[in-house]
Amino acid sequence: MAVLWLLLLVGLPMFLLGVFIWAVVKHFLTAKIPSSLKHPVKLRCMHCVMLFVIALGNILEKLRICSMPGFISFIHDLLPIKKDPTLVVTNMHFGTIPVRLFQPKAVSSNLRRGIIFFHGGGSIFGSLDLYHNLCSFLARETDSVLLSVGYRKLPVCHHPATFKDCLNATILFLKALETYGVDPSRVLLCGESFGGWIAASITQILVSNPCLPQIRAQVLITPILQVINLLLPSQQQNKKIPFLTKDFLITLLCKYLAIDHSWSDSIDTGAVIPLDKWKKYRKWLSSDNIPRHFWRQDTQPEFLGCFNEAAYLEAQHIFDTEISIVIADDKTIAQLPEAFLVSCEYDILRDDTLLYKKRLEDQGIPVTWHHVIDGFHGCLVLFDRKFLSFPCSMEIVNTTVNYINSI
């Protein structure tokens, strides 16, 4: 027995060290850190840790101990949650959907602004706890009532279960605004990354429902807004930049939409796009819509791969407007509320924001756009993590607060 314990004590650290060395090697082989990014060493270290944790999660999943997403959630939920004495925080359920309500303690003679927040994480990562500090900060600094929506994630649930959770929670909250002291004319939908997609998609759906209060504005922070054209300049330029590489993006896309990963190359090269659909949507999805100062010398115009009908049949739901919301019809776009859009220069999803910005502006929708020159995908949630934070993290938070306070 003593020998077994000795082997465990020696073998486990050696195993973990070996996995970490593998993660470091993989980082240097697959990741790219632009020289103009601030704190590049910090970003490298954090990405190595991320790869290490994902690798451990995959190993545990293969051993049938727990799922990889479950392990990741367990790890990131170990980060401390700050208690704000100026807020009342209530954990509730709307049916089976977990939500967290943030309300200022101070008495107000008027109804407050309402914010419905959807967290990021690609439907694999992210949680109410991970985004607690951000939601607390937004509620306090904007004197708003904020509802943070938890939703079912992978691997248990795929689309549309996640989306339906968020839509149902939104509708239930909108029907009970005065119960929470919220002004029905001042409700915003806000989301980051995957949550930005949810916020934008729900905003489009709600414009056709006159029985509910109309959304005042949509706040979309580094959102994913289409999954059809993955050959945009930002997806060429930033395909190896942490924390969201192109390979990882396509993996998340396939998992969320239940597409067999064997079709990933066809999705990557645009071979899933029929010529007739490309002719129809090119005016909205083409790289021609991206301003030339965002193009680099090695950026190439999109050249779609040879059409693969089998791949198209497997992945054709990427053309649903609730998934690729940029291709919604003009009538729907023209009814949308004003938007606040945040993009980051070193984000593979940067050009999704630029496409949607043009799409909204072409239909006369007011757009406030903030571009973070040294920003990268996923930096937002690090805004108050002290030595883990980056200047771009606080820039996004402060700019978002300023916009919300202006409406």
Q: Give the pair of three-digit tokens for residue 323.
A: 């998934």
Residue 16 banded pLDDT, cuts 50, 70, 90? confident
What is the full DSSP assignment across 55-89? HHHHHHHHTTSS-HHHHHHHHHTTS--PPPTTEEE
Is residue 7's pLDDT more than 70?
no
Strands 144-149 and 217-221: unpaired
Q: List, for residues 236-247, the tens digit of each pLDDT value.
A: 999 999 999 999
The confidence score (pLDDT) of residue 9 equals 65
The confidence score (pLDDT) of residue 302 equals 86
The confidence score (pLDDT) of residue 3 equals 59
As a whole number, mean pLDDT of residues 368-389 equals 94
The confidence score (pLDDT) of residue 35 equals 84
Residue 2 banded pLDDT, cuts 50, 70, 90? low
Beta bridge partners of 377: none
The confidence score (pLDDT) of residue 154 equals 85
The confidence score (pLDDT) of residue 156 equals 83
Q: Which residue has the tokens 């060290």?
A: 17
CA distance 159 to 153: 9
The confidence score (pLDDT) of residue 298 equals 83
Residue 349 banded pLDDT, cuts 50, 70, 90? very high
Q: List, for residues 190-204, the tens digit of each pLDDT value.
A: 999 999 999 999 999
CA distance 6 to 381: 40
One of 27, 119, 370, 377 is an active-site residue; which one? 377
User: Average per-residue pLDDT in the chain?
Assistant: 94
Is residue 177's pLDDT more than 70?
yes
CA distance 218 to 187: 9
One of 123, 136, 144, 193 is an active-site residue; which one? 193
Per-residue CA distances from 5 to 13, 18, 171, 285 (Å):
13, 20, 55, 59
As a whole number, mean pLDDT of residues 174-181 equals 96
One of 129, 165, 347, 351 is an active-site residue; which one? 347
CA distance 373 to 380: 14
Please report how the helices 2-30 and 40-62 are oriented relative to each other, as an axis angle in degrees rounded to 10.
130
The confidence score (pLDDT) of residue 99 equals 98
Q: List, for residues 271-282, the tens digit of each pLDDT value.
A: 999 999 999 999
The confidence score (pLDDT) of residue 146 equals 98
Is residue 4's pLDDT more than 70?
no
The confidence score (pLDDT) of residue 1 equals 59
163 closest CA partner among 353, 54, 365, 320? 320
Active site residue 67: no
Active site residue 193: yes
The confidence score (pLDDT) of residue 45 equals 95
Q: List, for residues 283-298, the tens digit of each pLDDT value.
A: 999 999 999 999 988 8
Q: List, for residues 121-173, the tens digit of each pLDDT value.
A: 998 889 999 999 999 999 999 999 999 999 999 888 889 999 999 999 999 99
The confidence score (pLDDT) of residue 344 equals 98
Q: List, for residues 51-77, the tens digit of each pLDDT value.
A: 999 999 999 999 999 888 889 989 988
- E strands, 105-192, are 112-118, 144-149, 182-192
Q: List, for residues 385-407, the tens digit of each pLDDT value.
A: 888 899 999 999 999 999 999 99
Active site residue 377: yes
Does 15 or 249 have the greater pLDDT score? Answer: 249
C-alpha 350, offset from chain centre: 12
